[in-house]
Amino acid sequence: MNISLLIIGGAIGAVSRYLFGVLLMKRNKQPQFPVAMLVVNLLGSFGLGTFFSFYYGEYHSGDYSDPIYLGLVIGFFGAFTTFSTFSVESVQLFNDKKWKELIAYILISIMGAIFLFAFGFYIVNPGD
């Protein structure tokens, strides 16, 4: 059952990432840096933050026996967001000597993902 949840969540997340990326690339044919993966990773971080807040009410490390965690967090969000593609695109910017774009891409990706996870978490559950 657990593997099935991972497969279903992962398939939906991967297809969603692909379709969202295609849509963004159609609108921005010659981006200065990898806009599609940047937006997908930021959106995924926000979504993950809101999920943790809504479902758990707090941040906690994963419960691998929880089917919702397996299907949604590991499956869907794990496949929707992609650190490996971020790495490839960062190296491509480095190889192309696009220093400003590289720095902007790295900073926006990392800081933006952390900020949007926290924002998504606290907008749902502002705390005391």
In whole angstroms, what is the distance from residue 63 CA to residue 74 CA? 10
pLDDT at 127: 66
Ligand-binding annotation for 78, yes or no, is: yes
Where in the chain are the domains?
A: 2-124
- The candidate with the shortest Cα–Cα distance to 24, out of 38, 4, 3, 8, is 38
Residues 71-89 have pLDDT tens digits of: 999 999 999 998 999 999 9
- The candidate with the shortest Cα–Cα distance to 12, out of 72, 63, 67, is 72
Q: Can you give the pTM of this predicted structure? A: 0.88
- The candidate with the shortest Cα–Cα distance to 6, out of 62, 87, 84, is 62
Ligand-binding annotation for 81, yes or no, is: yes
CB atoms within 10 A of CB 80: 23
**Residues of the chain with confidence (pLDDT) below 50:** none
